[in-house]
Amino acid sequence: MTEFTPVASLIGGALIGLSAVLMMLLEGRIAGISGIAGHLLPPYRDGGFGGRLAFIIGLVAAPFLVAAVTGAPVVQTVSSNAALMAAAGVLVGFGSVWGGGCTSGHGVCGIARLSPRSFVATGVFMATGFITVFIVRHVFARHVIGG
Amino acid sequence: MSLLVNLGLGLLFGVGLVISGMSDPAKVLNFLDLFGSFDPSLAFVMGGAVVVAFFGFRLAWARPAPLLAPRFQVPKRTDIDVRLIIGPALFGIGWGLGGFCPGPAFTALGLLAPGTLVFVPAMLVGMGAARMLAERTD
């Protein structure tokens, strides 16, 4: 089980939204992580490499900032099944770039823009996510992690 | 300037992910486990983010241009094509297997869990493959 954290999740979500708004206001771009990370790889079409890398470094640094301010380490439970995580990684990476966005680009920014494409994409990845967890945990009755 | 701005924006985004609990795959998988150990937190994260972005974007777009770039670059397409189904369908399967989507995977990277150290390189391989394939088919 994990604890239901409505207040912390709402505050954290608002900070994610604020980052997306500031990205639009300052850079005029969508804060979509799969787009930012995917364009760190070739082919390169614009001069945005440095900015994208800086954004990703900011993401990587975030848990250390939170831990330093709160004094508590960031707790997480990650599966150590290497084959599972390799398959999951390839699917997430390929699927998010192939579909033009992930939870941030489609799920947050796209929904906020009322983009029909993002409503469809978000519905599809939520559906296959629910189905996958259902199959893993209830059909095969395997608790991968954290259940 | 742009580098510092982007670093700050990534940091803010990542702090939001960590505070919201989304950097923990267990919380994400429990959100997706409707018929088991369901944890609705992720809906509150998306709700908070979408509401802020909905109003914030409209305030930003009231300006003629962004503050640090010549123009707004917002996707204009509205067609629903096969890629828009296949891509998110595969993404959702991977998300349901590992509990990571791209943002949380990067916030987890420095915490060096063995599963993360497999997931992130695999994700980059998948992203690179999709970009190469898109290059050939576009």
Q: Which residues of B are less than 8 Å from A5 in CB distance?
A: 20-21, 41, 44
Write the DSSP assignment of chain B as a string of letters: -HHHHHHHHHHHHHHHHHHHTTT-HHHHHHHH-TTSS--THHHHHHHHHHHHHHHHHHHHHTSSS-SSSSS----------THHHHHHHHHHHHHHHHS--HHHHHHHHTTT-HHHHHHHHHHHHHHHHHHHHHHHH-
Asked if A79 has any chain B CB less than 8 Å from its own CB, the reply is yes
Which pLDDT does position A1 carry in this prediction?
80
Q: What ipTM was assigned to the predicted interfaces of this complex?
A: 0.97
Q: What would the mean pLDDT of B112-132 be, rounded to a whole number?
A: 97
Q: Which residues of B are less than 8 Å from A100 in CB distance?
A: 75, 83-84, 87
Distance from C-alpha of B46 to C-alpha of B20, rounded to nearest angstrom: 10
Domain extents in chain A = 78-147
Q: Which residues of B are less than 8 Å from A79 in CB distance?
A: 25, 98-99, 115
pLDDT band at A46 (very low <50, low <70, confident <90, very high): confident
Does pLDDT of B138 surpass 90?
A: no
Distance from C-alpha of B120 to C-alpha of A24, rounded to nearest angstrom: 26
User: Are B45 and A10 within 8 A, CB to CB?
Assistant: yes
